[in-house]
Amino acid sequence: MSAIELSKPQWSSQKVFILAAVGSAVGLGNIWKFPYITGENGGGAFVLVYLLCVALIGLPVLMSEVGLGRLGRANPPQAMANLAADFRASPLWSLLGLNGVLAGLLILSFYTVIAGWAMDYFVESAKGSFRGISGEAVGQYFSGFLANPWALLFWHTVMVGLTLAIVAKGVKGGLEKAVNFMMPLLFLILLVLVGWSAAQNSFGDSLRFLFAPDFSKLTWEAVLIAMGHAFFTLSIGMGAMMVYGSYLPEGYSITRASLWIVFADTAVALLAGVVIFTVVFGNGLEPGAGPGLLFQTLPVAFGQMSGGWFWGTLFFFLVVLAALSSAISLIEPAVSWLEQNWRMSRIRATLLLGALVWLAGIGTVLSFNAWKDVHLLPGRTFFDSLDFVTANIMLPLGGMLMAVFMAWVIPAAVRRKTFDLGLVGDALFIRDLRYIAPVGVLIVFASNLVESSLHRWIAVGVALALYALYAYNRSRYNLSIRPGE
Ligand code: PHE
């Protein structure tokens, strides 16, 4: 193990770390994915489940993940191996890190394709193509664009190239500089858009759609999607936050940083949702339009507002930047793993992974045109399948295991020192990590495994019984954690 180079503290201040982590969290997930899955799953009730998942599962898992990174001081597979060795757990825990490395690359392969759409819209907006455009006309433009694999491939290539260029420069030169100015700007422009929305007649409909829950529209699958999205949008469960945590010097507050990340991420998603549904309801568009929702609505808004050319162009530019600051964190676990465990130079690792991601992205490009009817998972295109497997399975699974590791393997004294939550805070934190976060994920998983409701409860029962058995064993035999603690 001594042969492996560990991560060194790199962030130059607590503020820079927070910016980078917010940069990772805030991205296409907030501006593109959140509105369209909310539209597809009926609005309010879905949003409520998502917010509950963010608060009860997302926040504690985020804190755990950053904490595991700082304590493990390495890329995710190695960090987990280090911690497992330190605290006498199975070396198999490093698989948790590998799950993250793989998930990050899979996500990135479609992430750059979608970011490419935003790039195309940036150019179109700058050219003035959206001036006074109707909902119908944007819809036509968008479907024409999707039908052209070469256009999608071109922008996908550009986005992969930009990501690699930033990542190759390393943490200090690349990541820090990129996030420093763009996050505040993005927030500002969203506020301008919300101001515009508030003056529209459909603003009330938008708020009602997002915040008045109608539970008859909620299915178990929607709950799974909402929970998966809580992981996706906070960048947790796959090691991005773990690597960022491994670059964290002692003494920075993980708890404070995590609260900022959750707050900023949630705010951006909700603001984007409010704006997009104002346009949807004001122009007779379809809330359940799917992945094209953002791209079929916002140009209409910009087309109508005064100064829309300026705001629209700036907005799509910022979406691209927000996507880039997330993209670099999607590849960072894999890059640092190749650097540290495979002794590859940063440039080489970046290029190799970039080639893989670029190739895999072609599947997503084609899934919107030539492979429209080709299904990888039943009923799901290549893109839908990747999205489903990563966001709804790999990330929640990874995040759940991080919570379990923090709760049952890391000794209490180490945990208290890492998070400095005070007596009450720590008591709440550990109970959430033990009895809420993993149990929540298990229930949602188990209930999606089966169709009929009787079998559903059996599956949930079996999952919970297994977890109780594990928890009982841990608390009974691990000397570092005493029962009744
Ligand atoms: N959180 C990012 C977004 O919302 C996506 C992401 C997921 C980034 C996982 C890193 C890790 O767009």
Distance 235 CA to ligand 1 centre (A): 4
Q: pLDDT tens for residues 345-369?
A: 999 999 999 999 999 999 999 999 9
Shortest CA distance to 18 belongs to which of 27, 26, 28?
26
Strand-pairing partners, residue 377, are 380
Is residue 440 within 8 A of residue 53, CB to CB? The reply is yes
Distance, CA of 403 to CA of 430 (rounded, Å): 9
Environment class of 476 (CB within 10 Å of its CB; exposed 0-12, middle 13-18, buried 19+): exposed
Indicate whether 441 pLDDT > 80. Answer: yes
pLDDT, residue 477, reads: 66
Q: Which residues contact 216 (CB under 8 A, 6 or more apart)?
A: none
Establish whether residue 326 lines the binding site of ligand 1, counting it when its CB lies within 6 angstroms of any ligand atom.
yes
Residue 250 vs residues 73, 151, 279: alpha-carbon distances, Å: 11, 46, 46
Distance, CA of 148 to CA of 366 (rounded, Å): 9
Average pLDDT along the chain: 92
Q: Please tell me the residue having the least CA distance from ligand 1 atom 9.
A: 235
Distance, CA of 82 to CA of 76 (rounded, Å): 10
Indicate whether 126 pLDDT > 60. Answer: yes
pLDDT, residue 478, reads: 57
* pLDDT band with cut points at 50, 70 and 90 for residue 154: very high
Distance 323 CA to ligand 1 centre (A): 8
Indicate whether 324 pLDDT > 80. Answer: yes
Establish whether residue 21 lines the binding site of ligand 1, counting it when its CB lies within 6 angstroms of any ligand atom.
no
* DSSP label of 167: H
Name residue, tokens 């959750």: 262
Distance 403 CA to ligand 1 centre (A): 19
Q: Which of 325, 326, 331, 389 to mutate to test the pocket of ligand 1 (most atoms within 8 A of CB)?
A: 326
Distance, CA of 104 to CA of 98 (rounded, Å): 10
Assign 90 to helix, strand or coil: coil
Indicate whether 482 pLDDT > 50. Answer: no
Assign 59 to helix, strand or coil: helix
Establish whether residue 329 lines the binding site of ligand 1, counting it when its CB lies within 6 angstroms of any ligand atom.
yes
Domains of the chain: 14-481 (1.20.1740)
Is residue 260 within 8 A of residue 18, CB to CB? The reply is yes
Would the pTM count as exceeding 0.85?
Answer: yes
Please give the helix or strand (H or E) that residue 119 lies within, else none: helix 94-127
Establish whether residue 29 lines the binding site of ligand 1, counting it when its CB lies within 6 angstroms of any ligand atom.
yes
**pLDDT, average across residues 232-241:** 97
Of ligand 1's listed atoms, the one at least distance from the Cα of 322 is 12
Establish whether residue 27 lines the binding site of ligand 1, counting it when its CB lies within 6 angstroms of any ligand atom.
yes
Distance 452 CA to ligand 1 centre (A): 33
